[in-house]
Amino acid sequence: MPTMADVARSAGVSVATVSHVLNDTRPVLPHTRQAVLDAIDALGYTPNTLARSLVTSRTRSIGLAVSAISNPYFTEILQGVEAAALEAGYSLLIADPHDDPEHERKVVQLLHERRVDGMIVAPSARPRELVGYLRRHSVPTVFLDRMIGADMLEDTDTGAGAGAATPEDGPWYDQVSAESAGPTARLVTHLAGLGHRRIGLVAGLPGLSTTGERVSGFRDGLTAAGLVFDERLLVSGNSESAGAEQATAALLALPDPPTALITANNAMTIGALRALRRHGLSVPDDIALCCFDDFTWADLFSPRLTAIAQPSRELGGEAVRVLLDRLDDPRRPARTVRLPCAFVHRTSCGCPEEPGGTGESGHAASSTLSEKGTTS
């Protein structure tokens, strides 16, 4: 089996130069780099990543813990994480916590025991055990999509390990997510502008930051439109299709049901559509529908679904970049990065088809929504 020394002899360079090419640790002249790469190909040399990790104490691997990997939204996030990690020369270890707090802590522990350099985690609604484990072991972490509030730092055992965070240190983690409140409010005011006065929301799993923000945006939108909040029009679909189907049926059973409906994620959109079909209702003739989360099929429904599109792949790529910054400088201030969403205007809201049809993205018309940028 060829060694790094064999590559160096074949390329006519030092072993250190080969190492710099492989690890991108120092600039190398283009012709020298190419000579090393040609020698690697000719000899069939494969770097010993295990040996390298023993020397550097880095495995160049990232752990990703994301629930519902079958969900198209998280699938696109995964693609963004994978592409950015590969570009940076990192491998990816993936686990599905199934939105179960106990299982979540176990899979994160397993990833940590595989010696990943850092973690990207979409936390559950009750992440206290997860947060406690990550803090005790000082694991470089980026929370993705779902934010962790200051209350999650209370009563968690930080341990006495070197570098363990304390509440006085402030946030020890970085976070990356899309905006939620403003885009949801935009859906409400759009429907109100079309004349709707009874607008329902099928919200997500209680306890998730995304659920809280979208509920807050829903109420903000009602206030902006001069509408009174009716608690009967706010129901929980638990972020799943079956839950949304039941929740939508409950809304339709009200003495004065909503004339317009907003669903807070793509899985719940499917459940709501099932319930509407079962009740013999047509969208948008009988009830208008808007959804949070755009997805490939949204443009194939009839009518086509008006939606909030999250920058899924960009979120995944940004999470990797933020984590790599943390690995390069563990003492840098914690960051919270918010990416804007886009309002994708189609026809399920009751509006006519936009002139010109769809563009390459399948979006009839879209506008970017942004509330905040990056904070530290």
What is the arithmetic mean of pLDDT over 17-46?
84
Lowest mean pLDDT of 126-140, 167-181, 225-239, 357-371, name the range. 357-371
What is the arithmetic mean of pLDDT over 143-170?
56
- Whether the per-residue pLDDT at 149 is higher than 60: the answer is yes
**Angle at CA of residue 361, ends 356 and 362, nearest 5°:** 55
Asked whether residue 262 falls in the same domain as residue 148, the answer is no
Task: Tell me what pLDDT residue 168 has.
Answer: 40
Lowest mean pLDDT of 67-71, 131-135, 296-300, 355-359, name the range. 355-359
Least Cα distance to 295 among 315, 278, 281, 312 occurs for 312
Q: What percent of the chain has pLDDT over 70?
A: 83
- Whether the per-residue pLDDT at 264 is higher than 70: the answer is yes
User: What is the CATH number for 195?
Assistant: 3.40.50.2300
| pLDDT confidence band for 326 (50 / 70 / 90) | very high
Asked whether residue 237 falls in the same domain as residue 358, the answer is yes
Asked whether residue 230 falls in the same domain as residue 351, the answer is yes
> What is d(CA 176, CA 174) in angstroms, rounded to the nearest whole number?
7
Least Cα distance to 125 among 232, 230, 242, 203 occurs for 203
- Whether the per-residue pLDDT at 51 is higher than 70: the answer is no
What is the arithmetic mean of pLDDT over 78-101?
91
What is the arithmetic mean of pLDDT over 108-116?
90
What is the arithmetic mean of pLDDT over 268-289?
96
| pLDDT confidence band for 154 (50 / 70 / 90) | low
Which residues pair with residue 234 across a beta bridge? 201
Could you tell me the residue range of the domain that residue 107 belongs to? 57-177+313-335
Among the residues of the chain, which ranges form H helices? 4-11, 15-23, 30-43, 49-56, 72-87, 101-113, 128-136, 181-193, 209-224, 241-252, 266-278, 312-328
Asked whether residue 145 falls in the same domain as residue 258, the answer is no
Task: Tell me what pLDDT residue 26 has.
Answer: 79
Residue 133 forms part of a structural domain:
yes
pTM value surpassing 0.75: yes
What is the arithmetic mean of pLDDT over 82-98?
91
Asked whether residue 307 falls in the same domain as residue 317, the answer is no
> What is d(CA 35, CA 368) in angstroms, rounded to the nearest whole number?
46
Asked whether residue 22 falls in the same domain as residue 103, the answer is no
Asked whether residue 349 falls in the same domain as residue 212, the answer is yes
- Whether the per-residue pLDDT at 63 is higher than 50: the answer is yes
Residue with tokens 């397993």: 110
Task: Tell me what pLDDT residue 57 has.
Answer: 55
Task: Tell me what pLDDT residue 84 has.
Answer: 95
Question: Cβ-count burial of 135 within 10 angstroms (0-12 exposed, 13-18 middle, 19+ buried)?
Answer: buried
Other beta carbons within 10 Å of 376:
11
Residue 268 forms part of a structural domain:
yes
Residue 52 forms part of a structural domain:
no
| pLDDT confidence band for 358 (50 / 70 / 90) | very low
> C-alpha distances in angstroms, 119 versus 142, 186, 232, 324?
6, 33, 40, 10
Highest mean pLDDT among 34-48, 69-83, 135-149, 315-329: 315-329
Task: Tell me what pLDDT residue 152 has.
Answer: 57
Task: Tell me what pLDDT residue 18 has.
Answer: 84
> What is d(CA 318, CA 80) in angstroms, rounded to the nearest whole number?
8
Asked whether residue 168 falls in the same domain as residue 111, the answer is yes
Structural domains counted in the chain: 3
